[in-house]
Chain A
Amino acid sequence: MTHDASSGDPLSGFDLVAAGPQRSREGPETAARHHDVPPGNPTVTALRKQFPDAVFHNLICAGDEDVVYVDPGRITEILGWLHREADQHYDHLADVTAVDYGGGKPLEVVYQLWSIPHRAALRVKCELPLDALEIETATGIWAGANWLEREVYDLFGIHFTGHPDPRRILMPENYAEGHPLRKDFPLRGRFSRAEQTRRALTQNPEDYYAAGEIAGRVPQTVEVDGGDATGEEGGGDVL
Chain B
Amino acid sequence: MSSRTVEYDVGRNPEMGPGGTLVASPAVPFDAPEPELGSDTMLVNIGPQHPATHGVLRLVVELDGETVVSVVPRLGYLHSSFEKLGEYRTWNQVVPLTDRMDYLAPLIYNCAYVMAVEKLMGIEVTDRCRVARVVCMEMDRIFSHLLWLGTWSIDVGAFTPFLYAFQQREKVYKLHEALTGARITTSATRIGGMMADLPDGWARGVRDFANNLPATLDEIDGLLTNNAIHAGRTQGIGAISADEAVNHGLTGANLRASGVPYDVRKDRPYYDYESYDFEVPIGCHGDCYDRYLVRMEEMRQSIHILHQALDRLPSGPMDVEDPRISLPSKTDCMSDMESMIHHFKLITEGIPAPAEDCWFSVEGSKGELGMYVVGDGGPKPVRWRIRPPSFVNLSAIPKLAEGHLMADLIVINASLDIVLGEIDR
Which one of A37-45, A69-77, A168-176 contacts B?
A168-176
Contact of B368 among A14, A67, A94, A119 (CB under 8 A): A94
Is B76 part of the binding interface, using a Cβ–Cβ cutoff of 8 Å?
A: yes
**Which residues of A are in contact with B by a Cβ distance under 8 Å?**
1, 12-14, 16-24, 29-30, 61-63, 65, 67, 91-95, 97, 99-102, 110, 112, 114, 116, 119, 121, 123, 142-148, 151, 155, 169-172, 180-181, 185, 187, 208-210, 213-215, 217, 220, 222
Residues in B whose Cβ lies below 8 Å from that of A214? 43, 60, 62, 70, 72
B119→A63 contact, CB < 8 A: yes
CB proximity to A under 8 Å, residues B352-411? 352-354, 356-359, 361, 368, 370, 372, 374, 376-377, 379, 382-383, 385, 387, 391-392, 394-396, 399
Complex CA–CA separation, A114 to B392 (angstroms): 15
Is B216 part of the binding interface, using a Cβ–Cβ cutoff of 8 Å?
A: no
A127 to chain B, nearest CB (A): 13
Closest to B356 in A: A61
Contact of A62 among B120, B248, B324 (CB under 8 A): B120
A52 to chain B, nearest CB (A): 25
Is B124 part of the binding interface, using a Cβ–Cβ cutoff of 8 Å?
A: yes
Closest to A151 in B: B391
- Asked whether A170 and B60 contact (CB < 8 A) given A13-B341, A20-B121, A181-B84, the answer is no
Complex CA–CA separation, A95 to B385 (angstroms): 10
A16→B324 contact, CB < 8 A: yes
Contact of B247 among A13, A101, A142 (CB under 8 A): A142
- Asked whether A61 and B122 contact (CB < 8 A) given A16-B324, A214-B62, A214-B72, the answer is no
Residues in B whose Cβ lies below 8 Å from that of A147? 391-392, 394-395
Residues in B whose Cβ lies below 8 Å from that of A181? 83-84, 383
Complex CA–CA separation, A185 to B84 (angstroms): 10
Is B45 part of the binding interface, using a Cβ–Cβ cutoff of 8 Å?
A: yes
Nearest 8 CB-CB pairings of A with B: A144-B249, A23-B122, A20-B352, A62-B358, A17-B345, A147-B395, A95-B387, A170-B76
Complex CA–CA separation, A49 to B353 (angstroms): 34
B246→A18 contact, CB < 8 A: no
Chain B interface: which size bin? 35 or more
Question: Which of A119, A144, A151, A209 is most buried by chain B, counting CB atoms within 10 A of its CB?
Answer: A144
Closest to A209 in B: B45
Is B81 part of the binding interface, using a Cβ–Cβ cutoff of 8 Å?
A: yes
Complex CA–CA separation, A155 to B85 (angstroms): 13
Is B262 part of the binding interface, using a Cβ–Cβ cutoff of 8 Å?
A: yes
Is B325 part of the binding interface, using a Cβ–Cβ cutoff of 8 Å?
A: yes
Residues in B whose Cβ lies below 8 Å from that of A19? 324, 352
Residues in B whose Cβ lies below 8 Å from that of A114? 268
Residues in A whose Cβ lies below 8 Å from that of B374? 99
A17→B323 contact, CB < 8 A: yes
29 pairs, CB–CB < 8 Å, chain A vs chain B: A17-B324, A18-B349, A20-B353, A21-B121, A21-B123, A23-B121, A61-B356, A65-B359, A92-B251, A92-B262, A94-B361, A94-B387, A95-B359, A95-B370, A99-B357, A100-B383, A143-B244, A144-B249, A144-B250, A147-B392, A147-B395, A169-B75, A170-B424, A171-B79, A180-B81, A187-B88, A209-B43, A214-B43, A215-B72
Complex CA–CA separation, A62 to B74 (angstroms): 36
Residues in B whose Cβ lies below 8 Å from that of A20? 121, 324, 351-353, 379
Q: How many A-B residue pairs have CB under 8 A?
A: 170
Contact of B246 among A16, A91, A146, A209 (CB under 8 A): A91
A172→B76 contact, CB < 8 A: yes
Residues in A whose Cβ lies below 8 Å from that of B249? 92-94, 142-145, 148
- Asked whether A17 and B246 contact (CB < 8 A) given A94-B361, A116-B267, A214-B70, the answer is no
Complex CA–CA separation, A109 to B268 (angstroms): 24
Complex CA–CA separation, A92 to B124 (angstroms): 29
Complex CA–CA separation, A102 to B45 (angstroms): 40
Closest to B124 in A: A29
Complex CA–CA separation, A24 to B325 (angstroms): 15
- Asked whether A97 and B385 contact (CB < 8 A) given A23-B122, A181-B84, A209-B45, the answer is yes
CB proximity to A under 8 Å, residues B132-148? none
Question: Which of B60, B88, B395 is most buried by chain A, counting CB atoms within 10 A of its CB?
Answer: B395
Contact of B387 among A1, A30, A112, A172 (CB under 8 A): A112
